[in-house]
Chains A and B, each alone.
Chain A
Amino acid sequence: MSEKVCEVKNLTYTYPKSDKGLKNVSLYVNKGSIVGLLGESGCGKSTLAKCISAQIVPDSGEIICKKIGYIFQDNYASLNPAKRVGWLLKETIRYGNPASFADSDRLIKNILEETELDESVLDHYPNELSGGQRQRIGIAMALLSDPDILIADEPVSALDVTVQKQVIRLINKLNEKKNLAILFISHDIKVVREICNYIYIVKDGEVVEEGESEVLFTNPSTEYTKNLLDSSYLETENV
């Protein structure tokens, strides 16, 4: 049986001044697996990720997670625009993985190789780089803190299709190489189908269906999932 690196039990969170939020959500992520959180925009996927990463405090429920790395959706806003990339990576090691700070130069060199970035990016400010490069730096920063689970909150939704493919390939490669658990959040069915082993379908703050990726896509059990898949096929046909 695989080791669980993150488990959420009966998590409930209500947005301030609203009756919406997460309702009794439970999920788990095993070591080495890529778990997808799929649902429409505004269904609570990112809120769940924020609860898991302790950015917001849930009303009730239990979260047992090992060390988390976080990849933000907006690769521009998630990198400090006033600092050079080299400084950002060093700062990540200084606080995310302080035991290895003395060896930070080697770690940075390795992570640049793993994320297929050139060493010249270290001297640049984030705005001087392309969207794909910035997202790779976001991934590199998430990995430098030596996490057990990586939460990727819509990591490719702001990228064009070609760069999307490159980033997905990179995430797949890192998952295989490091046996890293990944919680992959997306509203894009095709992307989730391509990358995830196990999927949770979220609707209005609740998990309405879950299952192995291929089983869920070939034999959805709820009406909502069927509609979600149909809308994706329609979209493909229209393209």
Chain B
Amino acid sequence: MKKIKINNQKKVGLIIVAIMIAFVLFGFLNRNSFDAMNKDLILKGSSFLHPFGCDEFGRDILKRTQMGMGISVVISFFSVLIGTFFGTLIGALCGYFGGIVDDFFTGIINVLFAVPSLLLALVFVSLFGSGMVQVTFALGIAIIPSFAKMMRSEFRKQRELEYVKMAKLLKVPTARIIFVHILPNVTETFINCIFIAFNNCILAEAGLSFLGIGVQPPFASLGTLLSDAGGYIRSAPYMVFFPALSLVVLLFGIGLLSSGESFHHAYSKRFKD
């Protein structure tokens, strides 16, 4: 088996993301107490038993942060899955076929691009209501245009290469040319797009929840925690600090994963001459 060599930035990113995942999983093991209230602990600061302190209902902020991050990650994961699938499909078709197919989808994408992703998600949520499922679909749809645009440009480049012409000469079915011949050659962009989209989804989900149209009580996401803590920023700044820090560290870790040489590239080295 080949040994994967990755750059230091990615190593740090991997370590951070692994720690954050462990942090979330550990929280889910104790999920029975994420919304347990205790009037004796109302707005209590950091302590040994409650290192992140407690909120205005005496709930443990560490447990709520773990739960909130878990929900943010799960929503972002499924959003990216939706965005990746449809974005790649549309981008591949536009880039490979060009012509009228490209004009049609690119027109729609350009219109969607004129509307900020968050606003697009807001429109979706206001149409279909708030909640985890709605937010997941809203964010998934919101990232389709950027994903489609990136994949379109990659497929346009690839379709002109002679290995694609060779496949056409052999009369390889078009779907196979797109997904078996070309797609493995654009995985570097593909993987980086996934990480960037994941980062954007976490941020957008936090934004939607902050505005109160994302995850609904009793569940919490990082955005909800920050929103709830807004009124206590002077009296209990730890309520803002720890969820915000968790969000920043998670985004930083994922950001590092998308920097430099991709995993695919580092693994195969097949594109190095």
Contacts and interface: CB of A to CB of B under 8 A. Distances in A.
Contacts of B168: 55
Contact of B170 (A77, A83, A92): A92
Contact of A78 (B166, B184, B273): B166
A55 B187 CA distance: 27
Contact of A95 (B161, B170, B187, B272): B170
B270 A77 contact: no
Contact of A77 (B162, B169, B181, B272): B162
Contacts of B273: 76, 127
B39 interface: no
Chain A interface: which size bin? 20 to 34
A82 B184 CA distance: 6
A207 B166 CA distance: 27
B36 interface: no
Which of B165, B270, B273 has the largest number of chain A CB atoms within 10 A? B270
B49 to A, nearest CB: 53
Interface residues of B, number: 20
A70 to B, nearest CB: 6
A77 B271 contact: no
A67 to B, nearest CB: 11
A91 interface: yes
B170 A80 contact: no
- B interface SS class: helix
Interface string B176-194: 0000010011010000000
A214 to B, nearest CB: 33
B270 A91 contact: no
A43 interface: no
- A interface SS class: loop
Contacts of A61: none
B270 A127 contact: yes
B162 A78 contact: yes
A76 B162 CA distance: 9
B234 interface: no
B125 to A, nearest CB: 39
B270 A125 contact: yes
Contacts of B268: 82, 125
A125 B273 CA distance: 11
B172 interface: yes
A127 B184 contact: no
Contacts of A72: 162, 165-166
Contacts of A80: 163, 167, 181, 184-185
Interface string B104-143: 0000000000000000000000000000000000000000
Which of A72, A79, A82 has the largest number of chain B CB atoms within 10 A? A82
Interface string B241-273: 000000000000000000000000000101111
Nearest to A84: B270
A24 interface: no
A42 interface: no
A204 B270 CA distance: 40
B252 to A, nearest CB: 31
A77 B166 CA distance: 10
Contacts of A127: 270-273
A53 B163 contact: no
Nearest to A151: B169
Given A77-B161, A82-B184, A141 B166 contact: yes
Closest 9 CB pairs of A and B: A82-B184, A78-B162, A125-B270, A95-B170, A80-B163, A77-B162, A72-B162, A82-B185, A96-B170
Given A77-B162, A83-B184, A125-B270, 9 more contacts: A70-B169, A72-B162, A77-B163, A81-B271, A82-B270, A83-B181, A91-B170, A91-B172, A127-B271
14 contacts: A55-B165, A70-B166, A77-B161, A77-B163, A78-B162, A78-B166, A80-B163, A80-B185, A91-B170, A92-B170, A95-B170, A96-B170, A125-B270, A127-B271
Interface of B: 161-163, 165-172, 181, 184-185, 187, 268, 270-273
